[in-house]
Amino acid sequence: MAKAEWQHDQVYTATSDSGHSLTFDVARVEGPTPTECVLMSLCGCTAVDVISILTKKREAFTALTVSAKAEKAKEPPTVFTDIELVYRVTGSVNHKSMEDAVRLSKEKYCSVSAMLEKTATITYTIEYADA
């Protein structure tokens, strides 16, 4: 369960069933827009998968950042049409292990990616930085 409650202007407080909340703001003053949160959720969801897989493979990563750039449809509903993810991993990580982790997240585990792929093409690159 989740809910969003109007606060003022175009500002809303969204609350999850776990009791956590965040602020949506269409003007982007008090918080991100709802669609920005969707993109942030994609980054978080796939990061969780990749970290879990790398941990199980006992890879010696020290950091992971997932960033996203997206394009939207020009007409309403302005859904995401193209999303580019960049995975930046730091540490001594086997490249094949990282590639496998990202592929498994995209193809099997990431729920947010699976939903977004109904309207968007999702591509990715991996950047490696030694610790």
Nearest residue to 117 (alpha-carbon basis) of 129, 100, 105, 130: 105
> Residue 131 — pLDDT band, cuts 50, 70, 90?
low
> Residue 115 — pLDDT band, cuts 50, 70, 90?
very high
Q: Judge if 89 and 47 occupy the same domain.
A: yes
Asked if pLDDT for residue 25 goes beyond 90, the answer is yes
CA 14 to chain centre: 18
Q: Judge if 23 and 52 occupy the same domain.
A: no
**Domain count of the fold of the chain:** 2
Q: Judge if 25 and 71 occupy the same domain.
A: no
Question: What is the CATH classification number for the domain harbouring 12?
Answer: 2.20.25
Domain boundaries, position 15 = 1-32
Q: Judge if 16 and 80 occupy the same domain.
A: no
Q: Judge if 38 and 78 occupy the same domain.
A: yes
> Residue 62 — pLDDT band, cuts 50, 70, 90?
very high
CB atoms within 10 A of CB 40: 15
Residues 43-55, mean pLDDT to the nearest whole number: 98
Nearest residue to 68 (alpha-carbon basis) of 51, 53, 80: 80
Mean pLDDT, the chain, whole residue set: 97
Alpha carbon distances (Å) from 22 to 5, 6, 40, 50: 11, 12, 13, 25
The predicted pLDDT at position 130 comes to 77
